[in-house]
Homo-oligomer: A and B are copies of this chain.
Amino acid sequence: MKRIVLLRLGHRPERDKRITTHVGLTARLLGAEGMLLASNDPGIIATLEDVVSRWGGNFYIKNNVNYKQEIKEWKAAGGKVCHLSMYGINLPDVTDELKSCDKLMIVVGAEKVPPEIYQLADWNVAVGSQPHSEVAAVAITLDRIADGEPLKREFQNAELTIVPAERGKQVIENLRD
């Protein structure tokens, strides 16, 4: 079972609140086990934990991590690190390598990232070498490297489950013990 974790750098509370929330929702949707936030923003944690408690699964969010320490520990445990930005090797040229990796940390910054992240990463990867939505970059990367169909995963222990429907909204409230 492949392990993927997302590391979010450079998040500024207020300014990046919604984008970082979308990064977290996208990581959860596409099979990451959790998101490490290298800033202090308990509001983001609360928002995403609320999603997990209602919609299921085990996605975790860790507030205010030391990113260098997290990268160091991840690598020491055999993990690889892929930094997504506008400037790296184009994703199609490294997809196979990323896909074959059992333990992958995906790093995405906000507008500014510490320059040393380019050295710490095993891969610096561009998702198209064009102005960059970090949400789209995470989405496309995780979708392309997923094992199986990531959009058909089930999230265990959900309070709410959507029933796919051609028109309108169908949501089941699951009774739990």
Could you tell me which A residues sit within 8 Å of B by CB distance? 18-19, 22-23, 25-26, 28-30, 51, 55, 86-93, 115, 118-119, 123-124, 126-133, 135-136, 138-140, 143-144, 149-153, 155, 161-162, 164-171
Contacts and interface: CB of A to CB of B under 8 A. Distances in A.
A7 B7 CA distance: 31
A62 to B, nearest CB: 19
7 contacts: A19-B19, A26-B135, A87-B168, A89-B165, A92-B149, A129-B162, A136-B139
A140 B166 CA distance: 19
B139 A151 contact: no
Contacts of A127: 29, 151
Contact of A131 (B51, B86, B166): B51
A164 B126 contact: yes
A170 B140 contact: no
A130 B29 contact: yes
B135 A139 contact: yes
Contacts of A130: 25, 28-29, 55, 155, 162
Contact of A143 (B19, B93, B138, B143): B143
A64 B120 CA distance: 44
Given A90-B152, A127-B151, A128-B151, A25 B133 contact: yes
Nearest to A56: B130
Contact of A135 (B92, B126, B135, B144): B135
A40 to B, nearest CB: 20
A124 B87 contact: no
Given A87-B165, A90-B152, 14 more contacts: A26-B135, A28-B130, A51-B131, A87-B170, A88-B166, A89-B164, A91-B151, A124-B167, A126-B162, A129-B151, A129-B164, A136-B136, A139-B140, A140-B143
